[in-house]
């Protein structure tokens, strides 16, 4: 009995209870930390999705402006073609002045061609099909973004609903299980990542469409520059003939 009494530690039970409480506190801290990190990750994906959405809207706006620029270039090309037609008519009239008889014949022969200027056959400008399809896809997605993310454009942390411990405590006050809360965060992260993937795909299509449109407009500018140079030579030639009359 004396051996048992000597080996007995009256504080052992207290130490076990304290160790148990410490383990419970540690587990509670780890669970809260997991929830906090999951909330931070969900909030980060929400902000990234917001930035991606803004980039897509800027891409659509840039595409629309580029198409308007293409329309202006097309109208300019049509005007240059019309000026070239008018200049050719003027040159014929100038040549006809030198011979009354020959001038009358040439004038009436030239009449039919004047009624059908080249630019009348040019189609209206709409931009390349790849860019047009990408713009339509992004515009269709815009309403879906607004429905599912009404505060998406606001980038401060208070808007996401996943940004601080208040949301965690709120879930706890509403008696939701912690694993359900964690699953909700993970589901939100997965959904945001899926939307980001789709958004990046649309942005890629916009970029490719913009590249194609820029290349086509570069060709148009080169063509227009050559036409303007030819027109300038014709104007100088006509002016010289007028001075010689």
Give the domain range for residue 102: 16-244
Whole-angstrom distance, CA of residue 81 vs CA of residue 191: 54
pLDDT of residue 31: 83
3 within domain boundaries: no
The predicted model scores a pTM of 0.65
| Structural domain count of the chain | 1
Is residue 9 in some structural domain? Answer: no
Residues of the chain with pLDDT under 70: 1-18, 98-126, 146-178, 245
d(CA 110, CA 95): 12
Q: Where are the alpha helices (DSSP H) in the chain?
A: 2-7, 12-97, 100-114, 129-148, 165-173, 178-244
Per the domain annotation, does 229 fall within a domain? yes
Q: Are 162 and 43 in contact (CB under 8 A)?
A: yes
Residue 8 within a domain: no
H-type helices in 149-177, by residue range?
Answer: 165-173
In a domain, 5, yes or no: no
Per-residue pLDDT tens for 145-180?
766 665 554 444 444 444 444 444 444 444 345 678
Q: What are phi and psi of 96, to 5 degrees?
A: -70, -25
């Amino acid at each position: 009995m004396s051996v048992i009494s000597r080996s007995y530690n009256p504080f052992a039970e207290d130490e076990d209870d304290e160790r148990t409480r410490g383990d419970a506190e540690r587990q509670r801290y780890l669970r809260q930390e997991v929830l906090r990190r999951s909330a931070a990750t969900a909030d980060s994906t929400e902000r990234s999705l917001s930035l991606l959405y803004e980039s897509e809207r800027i891409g659509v706006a840039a595409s629309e402006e580029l198409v308007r620029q293409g329309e202006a270039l097309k109208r300019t090309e049509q005007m240059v073609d019309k000026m070239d037609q008018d200049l050719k008519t003027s040159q014929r009239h100038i040549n006809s002045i030198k011979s009354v008889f020959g001038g009358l014949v040439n004038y009436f022969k030239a009449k039919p061609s004047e009624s059908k200027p080249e630019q009348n056959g040019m189609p209206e400008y709409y931009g390349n099909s790849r860019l047009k399809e990408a713009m339509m896809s992004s515009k269709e997605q815009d309403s879906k973004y607004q429905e599912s993310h009404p505060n998406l454009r606001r980038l401060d942390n208070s808007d996401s609903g996943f940004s601080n411990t208040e949301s965690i405590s709120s879930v706890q006050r509403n008696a939701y299980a912690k694993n359900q809360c964690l699953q909700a965060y993970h589901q939100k992260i997965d959904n945001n990542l899926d939307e980001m993937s789709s958004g990046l795909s649309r942005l890629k299509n916009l970029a490719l469409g913009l590249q194609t449109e820029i290349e086509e407009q570069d060709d148009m500018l080169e063509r227009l520059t050559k036409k303007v140079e030819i027109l300038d030579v014709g104007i100088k030639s006509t002016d010289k003939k007028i001075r010689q009359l």
